[in-house]
Amino acid sequence: MGIYTELIRSTECKARIGVVHLPHGDVSTPAFMPVGTNGTVKGIYHDTIREMGYKLILANTYHLYLRPGLEVLESYGGLHNFSSWDKNILTDSGGFQVFSLSGLRKIKEEGVTFQSHIDGSKHIFTPEKVVNIQRVIGSDIAMCLDVCTPPKIEYKDAKEAWRITKLWAERSLEERKRLGESFKGNLFGIVQGNFFEDLRRESAMTLSDMDFPGIAIGGLSVGESKEEFRDMLSYTAEYVTEEKPRYVMGIGSPDYILDCVENGIDLFDCVLATRIARNGAAFTDDGLVTLKKAIHTFDERPLQDGCTCTCCREYSRGYLHHLIKCNEMLGGMLITEHNLHYLYSFVERIKEAIREDRFLEFKKNYLKRFYYK
């Protein structure tokens, strides 16, 4: 029996509602996951995230491996206990972070060697080691080590990256099997292939047929245009099995979330909501509100009418503008809470539209207002 149960499917497109069954509780999908790279979602208490309704957050293998390190995490019995988070945790393999190091890493069949961005020390990630790091973390969903490539590379380089990703996926599964009951989490494979359709198709079909309980679609939202993203997402999703939960990595703005849901994607994550909050930007139904602008100085309105977050219940746009201009910590914290609350509520509205079989109408009307200036 798999970890995914589909409950409702749109008759107009591939949008669906389901449940992912995980060790720390079921997760209703579609679901956005806040990113807590270092074991914390920046600028907000775990209790607040839990009260919003989130049951799955993301942490990062690469960063946790370097700090606090495996010895500390093992002594606490894993990240759940260490960080006092009793819901589910998904961990990225660290492949994207290592890819981002560029000149500080070297990829071979055995694994990837890299220098720490903290102190320059040298390390190696193998598929087996990455699975074991996530075992120590206590990940409810773990990711295979993969080779993430930038857009517009040559075909031969993309093909070689997919060959290594496939090899690493096979080795990761073998290590997961060897660990047995000592690893309680679910290991997902990651589709790669850059922006070449034949490689994407082969990667999606190959990984779907392997013994992974879920499939992630990687290599998107890495600098390509919005049109390229939509085209490659739609194409790739056609070849990813619908019997397992499907996860697109690095997606967190409302317009991109709608594209994902339309293509039958169940899970998505991004640092965007919290990162832009710290810089004074907030999600609303009328698009992004940039609170640094002087136009908000005397604005007594909340960020979003009808929003029940603390920020919208208690404070005006004018006060938030003041906090951001003064670089007060509270400004970023309040907008962080708003953005995460907004995205959770937004996904709930999407689910309601799917239940009522009017998702495409909801998407059209939402984007008409979101993009209107």
The residues annotated as belonging to the active site are 92, 269
Helices 155-179 and 127-137: angle between axes, nearest 10 degrees: 50
**Those residues with Cβ within 8 angstroms of residue 134's Cβ, 6 or more apart along the chain or in another chain:** 61, 91, 93, 142, 143, 183, 185
∠ Cα 371 361 343 (to 5°): 55
CA gap 306, 91 in Å, rounded: 34
Considering only CA atoms, which of 372, 318, 275, 347 is closest in space to residue 55?
Answer: 347
CA gap 109, 171 in Å, rounded: 11
CA gap 344, 336 in Å, rounded: 12
Residue 119, amino acid: D
The per-residue DSSP string of 207-235 comes to HHHSS-SEEEE-S-SSS--HHHHHHHHHH
Phi/psi region, residue 305 (left: phi>0; alpha: psi -120 to 50; beta: rest), is beta
339 and 277 in contact (C-beta within 8 Å)? yes
Residue 21: Cβ within 10 Å count: 16
CA gap 250, 60 in Å, rounded: 13
Cα distances (angstroms) measured from residue 268 to each of 49, 225, 319, 332: 16, 18, 32, 23
